[in-house]
Structure 1
Amino acid sequence: MISVRGLFSFFVANQAQKPRGKEASKAADELVSKPEFLNRNRERLISTMIRAARSLRLVVPHLGEEIVAPANGLASVLMMGKGFCVLDVRTQSAELALSLIRDVHHEFGIGASNEGQIVLSLVADEAVTPEGGLVRLITDVIHNACLDLPDSVLEAGRDSVEGQVQAVIARKLASNLGQYFADNQRIPLSVARHEALKAPHLVVGVEDLKSFLDKKLQKNADVLFDDLYTFDTTSTYRKGD
């Protein structure tokens, strides 16, 4: 069995990483506290996980040769059609878990930083849980989508089946993952903070940082720094400082 530690051995945090300044850390926290920024990153996260789910092999050609069931006892084929078969996604749980980690890593450009390690660790932690986790949520949606295929779609052929299943996956997962991440915010928050920490690197000094974020978040508006950033109200920047 591959341990989580072994899985992330090639993403070891850089021990020589330069400590982040208080201004950069504060700016990142304040940016994450903005609903529009958090929502934007959550939408990217959901789209990434849908892409990982749609990369699984579901509808494949079949010419009638015997297909052997896997060792876990579940039949690898869920249903048959003329010239194709629909695979049981429940036999691909391990592949899905790795795809979620891989695609999140690539989408958000996660490297050897402490924030990046937290993101990957949380995705691995929530992929499979006693309650089911992300893998169970996703495979249930795909499995039910396949079972609910009408006979007319099955009779139309492989392309029709694949198109119908992929459309249902995208629609249902967008809704189900949206609800999941509304109830379980660890991954969205960690992804948002990882992204927020990239912004302070583009500017130098507190005044430049204030100007940069004001322009990006409140275009064509007066300086509203104290209104924009309320994450830490005890040390909020004030207009005129």
Structure 2
Amino acid sequence: LPLRIKNEFIAREIRVWRLLKHHRILELQEFFEDDEKLFFVSLLAERGTLYTHLKHNGPAIEDVVQTWMWQIITGVQYMHLRWIAHRDLKLENILLFEDGTVKVADFGFILDHIKSETETSRTYCGSRPYMAPEILLQLPYLPFKADVWAIGIMSYALLTARYPFDHHMNVVQLTNCQRLRDYKYPDHIIPTIACRDAIDQLLTYDAYLRPTIHEVYLCTINMFRSKASEKNYRMTSPNAIYSAHIIDRNVFQ
């Protein structure tokens, strides 16, 4: 990016990040700069990111994934309610703390002052494995719905330790796979029907049919309630035992 654009992004990141006050969003406590670098001061995430945790521990059990995703969803909903889109949601930007909770971090591509749910953007940003099809195709896209797509990718990745789509394919091949929902679960991982359905909805190809974060929030609440009533469900701590299956590090790159 040109230096001018980079400076605009940094200024926006600082301005907006300072305003974000939510227990599922990493708080900016302080920032300062010298002649060469800008430093951000925030809480230490003792257990790193969900990405590094996944690489070292393999896929998480479904109850743990739901717990983490619920925390991420509440943080993202807080942002969307304030007309702010993250635009770079990925496991590398979700911090894991000693108590097993997570927080959303890294607001370098944040977009604020969005005027409506239907306002589009033409600034194509994010990380390729998490990019919604409309961004890959460089179409005008809905920033909020792009965040929802990324949540779907993260959900699948946490369950399986792989991405649902091969992001090394060219754009035509990749978006065609996305359109056809051409992804499967490994034989040794059997998510519940409710979990599969939720991920399918998050990975809806048509952004206008993709659920909003508020609909995702309500769906997640109902999923928890359903488990509690039908299976005497008890929320598992994120410190629970993880699947013993080893992550395929060549796939999850």
Task: Confirm or deny a common fold (TM above 0.5).
Answer: no
Query: Looking at both structures, which has the greater relative contact order when contacts are Cα pairs under 8 Å and sequence separation is at least 6?
Result: 1
- The structure where helix makes up a greater share of residues is 1
